Structure formats: structure tokens, C-alpha cells
Amino acid sequence: MKIAEIKKGLLKLSKVSPNIIYSYDLTKMLSASEHETKTLINDYYQAHPAEYLLEMMEFDKLNGEQVPDRRRAFIFVPCFNEEKNLESLVEQYAAQKDFSGNELDKDLFEVCFVVNFPENEHTITQKSYEKRFEESIDILLKEKEKHQNIHIISKSFKLNLGSLGRARKYGMDYCLYRISKHPARAIDFTLILSNEGDTINIPQTYIASYLNFFANGVSKFVQGKIEYPKELLEAYEPIRLFTGCREAVHLGQGIYNKEFPFFDGIMPIGRNFGVSPRIYVKAGGIDPIRRDDTDDDMNFGTDIHANIGEHVKTFFPIELITNPRREVMIIRDILAGKQEDAKKSYENFHSNRAIYDLSYSDILDMVKVSIPKSLKKEEQCPLLNHYFQWIIRSRYKATFYQLPGFSDIIDRHRSHKISFWEKERQLCYLFENYLSGFERQERQVLEKNIVTESLSWFNHFISGFNLYFTCTFEGLKSSLNNH
């Protein structure tokens, strides 16, 4: 098919928006099924609107329907306003090597770029989005002429639908559709790999590492490691501490799942994880429905934890270097004394679309102006306090899980009726309401024990940074200090 015809088809399909729903009942049914993976994939698609499956077939025709017998890695990359980074990404995927230093066989993998933008914006902004959307398609079509294993999905989404979650669903479901063309016995030796359009550097054996990890055909979920450019980590202490401590606390709670039972184990970071098609389908796929916030990847991790079991999750340090634009903006605001802490920033960053316009060179300029190279001890506390409070909330859950109403809130989150952050707010309100009935001294003793335990875990998780903190004792509002 000629490039002009492919582009015409992509632009036409970009305007199609079937009513995709998420079904928790389907998730429960699939997670309990012992059918072979090919049958599960068919059951999964049969539960979707017919026009959605038709879309998958149409995108498949445009991109090239043949799936090489040896193809095992199916990568998807959501891209919103990433036209400046696309050519570099394609070149890095094309430059992948095996462990002997030879060029990686292109028949082993394909990369699907999910180019998307939100509709119903202000007229001027909307025209800008549409222009950049088409420019991204043109760049990828040019690359597709050189690399046939490059695939393109083009979508415009209604503004209130949650573009990132919906883009992830399209990308993963398209990979799943392609995988389903393999013979049944071959499907369990494939994987779906999640990347994002702000990736800066892909190590040359990145795909080979994932292929090797999934080579035994065992169904699993694997969280890779998110890293940031060394030039920033080595030169700027705030960036090194903020990103490093976040990863340590995140991973630590996932690994120590018995002590943090309501953290829901190792949680996906959407920029770098691999999953077997069987696990993806049994977890019910990605929920694309926007609620109070955007948490599609966290929901996916919770679904695996609750419906399949934590035993299928693992962490393996396959690195991906990404643009730290959201992290730098949060660090800048915290050090400037703004009241919007890391939690609020992460909760709302998907609504801040200006962040996606920040290239890595823009971030370097911002860092030079706004981020000091070193920190005073007292400045470390507000920077890392959110991650301490994250552990506090986890330990409150482990302590008060038998409270009336607790299980209902957890169930409402796990059935996707409320979002991750809604769940957190409701649980904190539940704890406060319960503790308000205690005598002051009795409450202080109980909460001090929880906070002391939380601080011990926090210091344990970040011990690799040679830091040690004390804290205030104000229950859920406790905060770090260096005294």
C-alpha cells in the first residue's frame, strides 16, 4: 500500500471513537479461566464492541497484516505532541543489538506508535494539536518506508475520556491482536512491551534483555527500571534524591508485599514494563475510562495483584532513560515553597498538557535556572516528605484494615468504581473518623507507634543514599525532619 493511501486511512480512522467500556465482570471471568491463551484473547475481544475489533483489523491492514513467525516482542509507544522525538526513537529501536553485538533481527519485534491528541480544546489549541498530530504521522510514515516493523495507530479522543489511558489500551490491544495471529503454542512465548514517547535513550540490548527474560514461555509481568540522564543525576542532588528515593520507596513496598498488603505489590510504571499476553488478558486489559484522575497503569497493576496473584509480578533492572520533565517541575515547585506537593502534582499532571511540550533541551534550561546543585539538610525534608507519607498511609491500612467500611473502599477501587486517589482520600477520612473517638493520649500512643514503624521502613528503603531522618508525630500529617 502506498504511503499516501496509508495516511488517508490513518486520518480517517483517527476520528472513529467506539464506546469502549471496562468490565470488571469480564476481568473476573477471564482471570479464573484456564483456557489456552488464544481462546482467552478471543473471549476478550468478543466482549468489546464489534466496531472496536473492526478498527484493529483496519489498522492492521494499513500497517501490513503479515506477522513473521519469529516475531516475539510487540512494543507500543503512546505519543502526544512528541514529533520532535519520534525520529530518534525509531533510530534507537532500529539500532538494537543482540548480546553478541550483532544487529537484532527485525523479524523478532515490532513497534506500534499510538499517535493521539484530545478533541474539543480551544479552537487555536485544537488546530495546533491537529497540525502536530499530522506532522507526527508524516514523520512515522517516512520511517515506515525504511523500517517495515514500524506500525502506526492514529487517534483523536474526546477531552473527557482520558487520552493516555485510552492510548495505552489501543496500543496494547493492537499488540494483542497481532499476537493472536500466531499459532496457539507460540503465543505464550511472546510479550507486550510498554514504552512512552518521552524516552530519551534505549540501551542497545534493551529488547534482547526482555526477549531473554520471557524466553521460557512462563506467563509473567516484569517491571523494568526507569532511569534519568546521568548528566542530571550526577550534577544535581535534588533530582538524584527525589527520583532515587521515589523508586526505592515504590519498589520497596512492592517487594515487602506482606508488610504492605494494600499497596498491591509491584506496580507498573507505564514507561517500561513487559507483560505476557496471557497475563494482560486475564487482568482484563487496560481500563481506559477517566475518573477523578488518570491511573490506568496503577489500575492494571492492582488487577493483576487482586485477580491473578502477586506471584506473576517481578522486577528486573532493564533500564530505560526517560525525560524527567514532570519530576523536574515537581522538584522546582517544592523547592520554591509552593504548597502543591508531589502527590498533588502527580495526581494532576495529565491535565497539564503544557508539560508534553517540554523537550529535553527545555528541561536542561529549566534545571540550570531553577534547580540548585546541592541541598541543605532542611531542604531534603519537603522534597522527600511525600514518599514518607506514602509509607505512613500504607502502614495505616495494614493496621486498620478491619475497620467497618475499609473493605468496601478497597473493593470499590479494585472494581474500578473509584480511582486510586479517591480511594486514598476516602481511607484517610475513614481513619480520621475512627481515631476521633479515642481519648487524646490513647490516640497519640497508637499513632506514634504507626508513624515510628513507618519512619523505620522509610529509612530502610532509602538507606542506599546514606540518609537518616527523624520526623514529627502528627498522625497522618507527620512529616520528616533532620534533627
Exposure letters 139-160 (e unless 16+ CB within 10 A, then b): bbbebbeeeebbbbbbbbbeee
Domain assignment present for 33: yes
Q: Per the structure block, which three cell numbers stand in for 5?
A: 493511501
- pLDDT digit of tens for each residue in the chain (483 aa)? 789 999 999 999 998 878 888 899 999 999 999 999 999 999 999 999 999 999 999 999 999 999 999 999 999 999 988 999 999 999 999 999 999 999 999 999 999 999 988 776 566 677 888 888 999 999 999 999 999 999 999 998 876 666 788 899 999 999 999 999 999 999 999 999 999 999 999 999 999 999 999 999 999 999 999 999 999 999 999 999 999 999 999 999 999 999 999 999 998 989 999 999 999 999 999 998 866 666 788 899 999 999 999 999 999 999 999 999 889 988 998 998 886 554 555 555 445 566 777 889 999 999 999 999 999 888 899 999 989 999 999 999 999 999 999 999 999 999 999 988 889 999 999 999 999 999 999 999 999 999 999 999 999 999 999 999 999 999 999 999 976
pLDDT score for 353: 60
Domain assignment present for 425: no
CA dihedral 411, 415, 418, 421 (to 10 degrees): 70
The residue segments making up the domain with residue 100 are: 3-220+276-290
In 156-205, which ranges are continuous DSSP H helix? 163-179, 184-187
Domain assignment present for 374: no
pLDDT score for 172: 97
Domain assignment present for 396: no
pLDDT score for 342: 47
Total domains in the chain come to 1
Straight-line distance from the first to the last Cα atom of the chain, in angstroms, rounded to the nearest whole number: 68
Domain assignment present for 182: yes
Q: Residue type at 28? A: K
Q: Per the structure block, which three cell numbers stand in for 481?
A: 525532619
Domain assignment present for 16: yes
- The closest of 445, 465, 469, 443 to 456, measured between CA atoms, is 469
Neighbour count for residue 49 (Cβ, 10 Å): 12
Domain assignment present for 164: yes
Domain assignment present for 367: no
In the chain, how long is the greatest CA-to-CA distance? 76
Angle between helices 325-335 and 237-255 (to 10 degrees): 110
